[in-house]
A and B are shown apart, each in its own frame.
Chain A
C-alpha cells in the first residue's frame, strides 16, 4: 500500500494541480467578468440579478459542475442569469472550472456547513415524517408560496404584480432546484444573502421559525415540490 501511494501520489497531485490550473485559466476567460477576480461578484455590470458570491456558495463541486454545464435556468433560476457553458466547454474543462471555483473561493464550505448543522437541531432520522410533512406544508403554503407559488413553480401573485418592478427578485422555481433537504434547511434558515445572493433575495427565516419547522419545510419541498 505504501509503495502504491509512493508511486501514484505524485501523479494524483499532478492531475489535481492540472485541473486547478486549467480551471483558473478558464475562470479568467469566462467567469471573471460577472463573478470577479476573487469570486465576490463585485461587478459594475448592470444585470437583472447580481451574480452569486462564489466564496459564500452553498453548492457542492458536483452541483457547481451541473450549473456551469447546463446553466442555472434548468435548475429553477430566472432565464437571464448564469448561462449554459456546454456549447463552449467539454466536461473535462467544466470539471476543471468547478474544481477551481470550489478550491479557490470556497474551500471551507464543508466545514462551514458542518459547523452550522452542529449548531442546529437538524435531525431528520428522529422525526415523525407524517407530522413533519403536514407542518411543512402548512408553512410552505403560508409563507414560501407567497413568492414561489403554491406548487413551487415560481409563479405567484407576487411575481405577477412585481415582475416589471426594478426591485423584482425572481423567486426560484423550486420544482427544479438541485439542493438537498439539508441545503434547503440551511438556505431557508440563514437566507440567500448569507449564501452569496443579492441582499434583497430570499430572507432568513431562522428568525421566524425554529429548526424543526424549517426542517419540516425542507422535507415537504423535497417530497412534494421538487420534480426530478
Chain B
C-alpha cells in the first residue's frame, strides 16, 4: 500500500473514532455483560453459574421453536413484499410530472410517525369483531358475517403482517426517495429516448443504482423483523395460542412477565444476534459489495 493511501486512512480515524467509541461504550459493554449473564440461571437477583445449560435448554424449548418459526415466517413473507411496494411507490413518486405527488408522499409516509400505543389502539379497534373493517366488508358482501380476525391463527398472522407493512412501507420509501435524488435524471431521459419502457427503466436503472440503499433497507428490515416486538404484543399479545409470538416477545416475557430469569433471556437474545448476523452477512454477499 502506498504512503498516500496510508495517510488518507489515518485521516479517516478522526471522523470515526468518537462515534465508534460511543457505540462500543453504550452497546458493547452491556452486550458483554449480557453474554456473561447467558451462562447463568436463577430468578430475579439470585443467580448461579450453569455453563452452557441455558443453550441446551434453548434447543429443546418448544416455545422458543414456535417463536423462531413465527419470526422467520414474518421475515420471509413480509420483508420482500414491503420493500418491493416501497420501491415501486418511490419510483412512481419520483416522476416530476406526476400530479399530487406531495399528497401521496405524505399520506404514504404518515403511518410510521404513529407511536406504539396509538398504533395498537387503532389496529385493534379496526380489526375488532365489531370493527369498522368487518362492517365495511359485510356491507359490500365480501363476507357473510364478521370474521374474528385475531382469533384465527392464520388471520392473526395476516393482520400482523398487514400492520407491519402498513407502518413501515412509507419508512422504507423515504430512504429510496432520498437516494433517488442522487440519480442523474438525464439517465432516465436517455433511456426513454431509446424507447425503454418504465418496467425496463425500473429494473434496469433504478434497482441497480439504488443497490446500496436497497441492501441497507433489507438488512434493517431483517433486523427489525427478527426483533419484532411492539406490534405483536400490542395487537395480539402473541395469541391465539402462541401463533403470533415472536422471539423478542419471548425474551420480554422471560424477563418481565414470568418469574424473571434474565440469564435465560440473555441466551435467547444471543440466538437472535447469531441469526441476524448470519443473515446480514448473507445479504451483504448477495448484495455484492464492490470491495
**A interacts with B:** no
Which residues of A does B touch, CB under 8 Å?
Answer: none
